[in-house]
Amino acid sequence: MLRRQSVLPGFSLSLGVTSAFIGLLVLLPLAALAAKAASLRPAAFWATVSDPRALAAYRLSFGASLAAAALNGVFGLLVAWVLVRQPFPGKRLVDALVDLPFALPTAVAGITLTTLYGPNGWIGRHLEPLGLRVAFTELGITVALTFIGLPFVVRTLQPVIEEMGTDAEEAAASLGAGRAQTLWRVVLPTLLPAWLTGVTLALSRALGEYGSVVFIAGNMPMKTEIAPLLIMTKLEQYDYAGATAIALVMLFASLLLLLAIGTLQAWSVRRSLGEAAS
Amino acid sequence: MTNFSIGIRALVALLALAPAARAQVTLLNVSYDPTRELYQEVDAAFAREWRQKTGQSVTVQQSHGGSGKQARAVIDGLEADVVTLALAYDVDALHRVGGLIPAGWQRRLPHNSAPYTSTIVFLVRKGNPKGIRDWGDLGKPGVQVITPNPKTSGGARWNYLAAWGWALRQPGGSEAKAKDLVTRIFRNVPVLDSGARGSTNTFVQRGIGDVLLAWENEALLAVRELGPDKFEIVLPPLTILAEPSVAVVDQVVDRKGTRKAAEAYLDFLYSPAGQALAAKHYFRPRDAGVAAKCAAQFPKTTTFTIDEAFGGWAKAQAAHFDDGGTFDRIYAAGR
Amino acid sequence: MSAIVAARRAQPLTPPAPSASEDSRPVRLALTGAALVFLGLFLFVPLLAVFAEALSKGGEAWVAAVSEPEARAALWLTLKVAALSVPLVTVFGVAAAWLIARFDFRGRRLLLALIDLPFAVSPVIAGLVFVLLFGRQGLFGPALAEHGVKVIFAVPGIVLATLFVTLPFVARELIPLLESEGRDEEEAARTLGASGLQMFWRVTLPNIRFGLLYGVILANARAMGEFGAVSVVSGHIRGLTNTLPLHVEILYNEYRFQAAFAVASLLAFLAIGTLVAKALLERRIGGSR
């Protein structure tokens, strides 16, 4: 199994523990999911997953999730950077609060965001005159998805920025690189793998999210109906097979996305290695 | 390692603490969302009565959630002795999908196995500025209607079917006219929340919409809890009779040996004491004597049932709410 | 990441200019400002709104909401579920990270993708899969019922669903760290005769401790706050199988908004509590070295 012998111990032990967990908690349940979806005849399966309403839901789910992941990618990087590098009053508190989107039940997040961004809410009230409707539109869905994915990018980047220190930047600067050049050639390549990890996690979390979105989405069929809601409506008709069929499509698409980003990440690691060495 | 062993000991202690002592009989009543206060009182009153009659002490545990979701949980193994759900369709799933109760369950208890009823009313803003009096008004341009999504909310299916049934019963009413009205009503819906409470919140807290379609008991509760001075209830002259159904789950009670207590529990709902509690929590009682006493709370209106207007839930569900049904077609055409 | 190591190797021996890694003051202010505005709109204001609603009827109402028996039972269950699932996720995370970062074997990338998979599964489905396995009509349902074992609609099911949704956290946090550390120190320790356990406690663990802490805290926050998956397998029995997030939903559905938000704010406090624990722990570890 091992491609190369290692002096490091624990291969069998860690392999055993990992496979036991993955087997029991991931493979077995997902096999049950696939088995249920397979109880549909191929034609029925196809009809379920290619229904115009389902297609609209996939488009919305992937679109809003990508937008939220991108937003988190930009601002998560900024927040992580500021939290590690810039001193400002109340920084410890801010740092502590970043994890809270995980701890708040998603429904609470959804209700609160709808209250705030609704037409008469604290924030929505000021956006409405600008012609910006947030609640019950795609924009609102993106806001909710950004909220629930916020900790991922920040928290995956933070340890890496801490670890990185300022040595490499100072080195680059002493070799005559400008600040922008240093950021572009030294800092960003170093952060890229972790940044991609964070964005991937935020993206996959957004794709599956249900609890917070249903409150702010408005749930209009063909317009603001996300894929997980479609799964719920199938379950409500006791159509377990149809629900698992949609779930399987979403899962497969996310898996492809995860693999694509994984490849990008492997490439970025190789590239930054090559660049640093040259 | 001492820290570690203390940790283990703490974990063991944590697990060993059982939450409650075992009572002699324990029943689980799986119900839907806004019945908690009702059943809190029913459970206590029933326990008193049961102890007096049999000397046995009984504990009734409660589970609340969306009606369809609760039915699925029971089908998947939640050991409910009795179910008290929002619509017969969900109780019937226990037979259809789960095989837990026999086909004729609805005839086992009086009044279609629905010990109390409710109806669909309009909650409007104080003074009823849009002058909404009847179902026809909901389809007018410029009226914003708030109702949850019938695909995910059992309560919303009553709203939809009430409008449909009303249109059928108008002079010259037909399926086509009914579809036209319901289509126009849903054109007026800006937000389809996934559940009844979401819709109430949209209407009450966010101030969206001119009228909220709701069960009478929920409207009364919402007015009491959220603002007696801000809303009023309009009872349409003709509306649907909402019959939340109850049933003993045969397979569970026979295995657990709790049939006697479970049946007595449901019978208690039909007793004058049970009926009075239902009325107290805004459900319309079936018992004529109890109903006479609280006539002021429940103004008279004419109602029709699902069976009368649609030939039962199974047909209504298949025609209107299943994938490809009228509701889906309304939205497919509205694009 | 290996990129960091590479960057370090490229570092020259001459001492660098002291301020070369710093941005000018206006740039720093602008960055900080932009970060805070983003956090404000997406994080602070929503949190503030939760607390405002929670305290809208005064401190006494807050205390009443979080101390009613059902809230206490839900708190207890939430803590119990977290106490059971977080250590398991941690064991898995450390083992999986060690495996992935330290050994090169066939199927490594596939395993990595499998570790991530639970994140891509909708919480609703995460609950449903366990129903499909252990439900009455599920694969193992009949066998379990015969022996009177309850998995779903009981604590084991809630723990399983929680494990599923939190599984990747620790592993995901540790893999990049272990990879960036490289294996030199550990190999040196082994060559010098350290046992596997000694090497792990003395070399590996100190190097990854912050990442491990982050991972555990994130997993813990998510374990306590998970709603969707747990909601499917809980059965919602009052006082028995309702966790705090489920209790919040029930309160909301009973029009008791203030109480719902009070309990939600309690969850926020629990999360802040774990963060304070983290800060204290960091200081202690930092101080002892």
The span from the CA of C76 to the CA of C70, in Å, is 10
Confidence of residue B224 (pLDDT cuts 50, 70, 90): confident
The span from the CA of A211 to the CA of C123, in Å, is 9
More confident residue, B313 or B7: B313
C275 plus C155 within the same structural domain: yes
The span from the CA of B21 to the CA of B17, in Å, is 11
Least-confidence region, from A229-238, B174-183, C68-77: A229-238
Instruction: Kindly report the three-state secondary structure assignment for every residue of chain C.
Output: CHHHHHHHHCCCCCCCCCCCCCCCHHHHHHHHHHHHHHHHHHHHHHHHHHHHHHCCCHHHHHHHHHHCHHHHHHHHHHHHHHHHHHHHHHHHHHHHHHHHHHCCECCHHHHHHHHHHHHHCCHHHHHHHHHHHHCCCCCCHHHHHHCCCCCCCCHHHHHHHHHHHHCHHHHHHHHHHHHHHCCHHHHHHHHCCCCHHHHHHHHHHHHHHHHHHHHHHHHHHHHHHCCHHHHHHHCCECCCCCCHHHHHHHHHHCCCHHHHHHHHHHHHHHHHHHHHHHHHHHHHHHHHC
Task: For residue B66, give the chain C residue with the closest CA.
Answer: C253
C93 plus C220 within the same structural domain: yes
Confidence of residue B333 (pLDDT cuts 50, 70, 90): low
Q: Which of A11, A25, A86 should we substitute to test contact with C (largest number of C Cβ atoms within 10 Å)?
A: A25
pLDDT at residue C5 in the model? 39
Q: Do C99 and A99 touch (CB under 8 A)?
A: no
C77 plus C48 within the same structural domain: no
Q: Which of B78, B85, B100, B251 should we substitute to test contact with C (largest number of C Cβ atoms within 10 Å)?
A: B78
Contact residues, chain A, for C190 at CB < 8 Å: 7-9
Residues of chain C above pLDDT 70, percent:
91
pLDDT at residue B30 in the model? 96
Coil, strand or helix at B242 = strand
Report yes or no for ipTM above 0.90: no
Instruction: Kindly report the three-state secondary structure assignment for every residue of B92-152.
Output: HHHHHCCCCCCHHHHHCCHHHHCCEEEEEEEEEECCCCCCCCCHHHHCCCCCCEECCCCCC
**Quick check: is C40 in a domain?**
yes
Integer CA distances (angstroms), B187 to B148, B158, B177, C80, C268, in order: 14, 18, 15, 48, 40
Q: Are B224 and B281 in contact (CB under 8 A)?
A: no
Kindly list the residues of chain B whose beta carbon comes within 8 Å of any beta carbon in chain A: 68-69, 72, 75, 93, 96-97, 149, 151-152, 190-194, 198, 201, 205-208, 317, 321-323, 328, 331-332, 335
C46 plus C67 within the same structural domain: no
Q: Give me the numbers of helices (H) and strands (E) for chain B, helices first please.
A: 17, 11
pLDDT at residue C6 in the model? 41
Q: Given CB atoms, is B119 within the 8 Å cutoff of chain C? A: no
Confidence of residue C283 (pLDDT cuts 50, 70, 90): confident
Burial of A142 (0-12, 13-18, 19+ CB in 10 A): buried
Q: Look over chain C and give the mean of its residue pLDDT values, rounded to a whole number.
A: 84
Coil, strand or helix at B161 = helix
Out of A118, A120, A219, the one facing B192 most closely (by C-beta) is A219
Maximum Cα–Cα distance for chain C, whole Å? 74
Contact residues, chain A, for C45 at CB < 8 Å: 116, 122-123
Q: Do A220 and B68 touch (CB under 8 A)?
A: no
Q: Do A237 and B322 touch (CB under 8 A)?
A: yes
pLDDT at residue C273 in the model? 81
Out of A51, A120, A218, the one facing B191 most closely (by C-beta) is A218
Out of A53, A136, A229, the one facing B190 most closely (by C-beta) is A136
**Quick check: is C10 in a domain?**
no
pLDDT at residue B23 in the model? 47
Confidence of residue C1 (pLDDT cuts 50, 70, 90): very low
Contact residues, chain A, for C18 at CB < 8 Å: 170
Out of B11, B15, B64, the one facing C250 most closely (by C-beta) is B64
The span from the CA of B125 to the CA of B211, in Å, is 7
Kindly list the residues of chain C whose beta carbon comes within 8 Å of any beta carbon in chain B: 73, 76, 79-80, 83-84, 131, 134-138, 141, 145, 152-153, 231, 235-240, 250, 252-257
B20-70 residue pLDDT tens: 334 489 999 999 987 888 999 999 999 999 999 999 999 999 998 889 999
More confident residue, A7 or B238: B238
- Measured between CA atoms, how close is A43 to chain C, in angstroms? 23
B116-167 residue pLDDT tens: 999 999 999 999 999 999 999 999 999 999 999 998 888 899 999 999 999 9
Residues of chain B above pLDDT 70, percent:
92
How many Å from the N-terminal Cα to the C-terminal Cα in chain B? Answer: 67
Domain extent for C39:
22-54
Alpha carbon dihedral C110, C114, C120, C123, in 10-degree steps, equals: 170
- Measured between CA atoms, how close is A106 to chain C, in angstroms? 7
pLDDT at residue B94 in the model? 95
- What value does the mean pLDDT take over residues B233-238? 95
pLDDT at residue A267 in the model? 80
Contact residues, chain C, for B70 at CB < 8 Å: 236
**Quick check: is C232 in a domain?**
yes
Question: In this model, does residue B115 exceed pLDDT 50?
Answer: yes
- Measured between CA atoms, how close is C227 to chain B, in angstroms? 13
* Domain residue ranges of chain A, discontinuous segments joined by +: 58-277
The span from the CA of B33 to the CA of C285, in Å, is 49
A187-215 residue pLDDT tens: 888 888 889 888 988 998 898 888 888 88
B2-27 residue pLDDT tens: 555 555 555 444 444 434 334 489 99
CATH number of the A58-277 domain: 1.10.3720.10
C191-245 residue pLDDT tens: 898 888 899 999 898 888 878 988 898 899 889 988 888 988 998 888 889 999 9
CATH number of the domain residue C225 falls in: 1.10.3720.10
Contact residues, chain A, for C28 at CB < 8 Å: 86
C167 plus C36 within the same structural domain: no
Least-confidence region, from B95-109, B151-165, C110-124: C110-124
Amino acid at B330: I
Q: Do C254 and B98 touch (CB under 8 A)?
A: no
For chain C, the domain total comes to: 2
Residues of chain B above pLDDT 90, percent:
73
Question: In this model, does residue B240 exceed pLDDT 90?
Answer: yes
- What value does the mean pLDDT take over residues C89-109? 91
Q: Which residue has the tokens 């977290």?
A: C82
- What value does the mean pLDDT take over residues B177-181? 95
H or E stretch covering B304: strand B302-304
pLDDT at residue C184 in the model? 87
Count other Cβ atoms within 10 Å, centred on residue C288. Answer: 6
Burial of B233 (0-12, 13-18, 19+ CB in 10 A): middle
**Quick check: is C170 in a domain?**
yes
User: What's the whole-model pTM score?
Assistant: 0.85
Question: In this model, does residue A278 exceed pLDDT 80?
Answer: no
Q: Which residue has the tokens 């009949």?
A: C142
Burial of C24 (0-12, 13-18, 19+ CB in 10 A): exposed
Amino acid at B67: S
**Quick check: is C246 in a domain?**
yes
Contact residues, chain C, for A190 at CB < 8 Å: 1, 3-4, 7
Alpha helices by DSSP H, listed for A98-187, are 100-103, 106-117, 124-127, 138-164, 167-174, 179-182
Question: In this model, does residue C14 exceed pLDDT 60?
Answer: no
- Measured between CA atoms, how close is B76 to chain C, in angstroms? 5
- Measured between CA atoms, how close is B45 to chain A, in angstroms? 33
Q: Which residue has the tokens 């939205």?
A: B331
C161 plus C283 within the same structural domain: yes
Six-digit token pair at B134? 């009847």
Task: For residue A54, give the chain B residue with the closest CA.
Answer: B323
Q: Do C257 and B205 touch (CB under 8 A)?
A: yes
Nearest to A259 by CA among C177, C99, C112: C112
Q: Look over chain A and give the mean of its residue pLDDT values, rounded to a whole number.
A: 86
Nearest to A166 by CA among C93, C105, C117, C21: C21
The span from the CA of A153 to the CA of A200, in Å, is 9
pLDDT at residue C285 in the model? 66
B244-283 residue pLDDT tens: 999 999 999 999 999 999 999 999 999 999 999 999 999 9
Q: Are C102 and A186 in contact (CB under 8 A)?
A: no
